[in-house]
Amino acid sequence: MVPELSSSSPASRDQRASATHHCDACVVRNRAICAALEPEDRHALGREGRIQTVPRGRTLVWEGEDAMLVANVIEGVLKLSTSTSDGREQIVGVVYPSDFIGRPFGERSQHSVTALVDSRVCLLPRAAFDRFAHEHPELEHRLLNRALDELDRARRWMLLLGRKSATERVASFLLELSHRLAESGCAGDVALDSFELPLDRQQIADVLGLTIETVSRQMSSLRAAGVIELPGRRSLHILDRARLTALAGD
């Protein structure tokens, strides 16, 4: 866990000034949770936090720890995971730039948060964020909308895991990635046809409730059918989006 900032140290003051500067230059400021705030309020919130780089594979938050921090994702992709009683990991979600991490108004983290690729986040002490949210109803409203969006996404995922075939799961996942990665970049609402997979085959299998062999077989079938192209180990290009959508059962 990254330690909470000390408000008295010169380094902390420099970090907070830097965070204020990053608010103006932040590439996700119009889509992140703080977008609901007026510029002066956004800067005030930014002074409570700092920007942190999270290298690929590093865990930012551990399941069961005290929920001391919340964060906005600025760059990269991170996984949310939980552990079963016998120590197995289950990936329960993936977060992208502009997504919010953490549990405001809570006491313990419900899952671990680990970077899948080199990432950057804007970290805020949870206690300071909670106080700020209470003083700014527009931020609480935005937080509620985010929570409802996550609930809708979780319900769609329940349908995918409970009712869809292996082909439909893989196709749905690739479509979801193409949209979420577009939203987190400069493409706006236009889904990406070419992108790098942030998860490896085993992680995709874990997310979709499949075996790695099944995922590999499905990806090979999609490539053989001319629906996708796999030019590199993680690179993917959607050749026939209409066909992929039909295969997803949407």
Q: In whole angstroms, what is the distance from residue 159 CA to residue 188 CA?
A: 27
pLDDT over 60 (residue 27): yes
Cβ 81 vs Cβ 17: under 8 Å:
no
104 and 31 in a common domain? yes
Q: What is the percentage of the chain residues whose pLDDT exceeds 90?
A: 40
Alpha-helix residue ranges (DSSP H) falling in the chain: 10-25, 39-46, 126-135, 137-163, 166-184, 201-208, 212-224, 241-247
Q: In whole angstroms, what is the distance from residue 75 CA to residue 96 CA?
A: 7
87 assigned to some structural domain: yes
Contacts 24+ apart (CB under 8 A), 200-203: 200/234, 203/79, 203/91, 203/116
pLDDT, residue 73, reads 93
pLDDT over 50 (residue 155): yes
125 and 30 in a common domain? yes
pLDDT tens sequence across 73-128:
999 899 999 888 887 888 888 899 889 998 888 778 888 999 988 999 999 999 99
pLDDT tens sequence across 173-204:
999 899 888 876 544 556 889 999 988 999 89
Instruction: Report the CATH number that the domain containing residue 211 is assigned in CATH.
Output: 1.10.10.10
pLDDT, residue 112, reads 92
* Cβ neighbours of 96 (radius 10 Å): 20
At how many degrees (to 10) do helices 166-184 and 201-208 cross? 110
pLDDT, residue 4, reads 41
Most confident of 132-141, 146-155, 172-181, 239-248: 239-248
> Taking the chain, what is the end-to-end CA distance rounded to the nearest angstrom?
40
Two structure tokens written together for 21: 């500067």
Sign of CA dihedral 215, 218, 168, 31: positive
pLDDT, residue 189, reads 54
Could you tell me which residues come within 8 angstroms of residue 244 by beta carbon, excluding any fewer than 6 positions away? 171, 174, 175, 222, 227, 228, 238
Two structure tokens written together for 34: 């703080």
Average pLDDT in the 64-72 region? 88
121 assigned to some structural domain: yes
Number of domains comprising the chain: 2
pLDDT, residue 185, reads 56
Cβ 111 vs Cβ 65: under 8 Å:
no
In this prediction, residue 71 has a pLDDT band, given cuts at 50, 70 and 90, of very high
In the chain, the amino acid numbered 195 is F
pLDDT over 70 (residue 25): yes
132 and 242 in a common domain? no
In this prediction, residue 23 has a pLDDT band, given cuts at 50, 70 and 90, of confident
29 vs 173: which has the higher pLDDT: 173
Two structure tokens written together for 138: 């527009």
153 assigned to some structural domain: no
* Cβ neighbours of 85 (radius 10 Å): 5
129 and 177 in a common domain? no
17 and 93 in a common domain? yes
3 assigned to some structural domain: no
**In what helix (H) or strand (E) does residue 195 lie, and over which residues does it extend?**
strand 194-196
144 assigned to some structural domain: no
Instruction: Report the CATH number that the domain containing residue 85 is assigned in CATH.
Output: 2.60.120.10
* Domain membership of residue 174 as a residue range: 164-247
In the chain, the amino acid numbered 241 is R
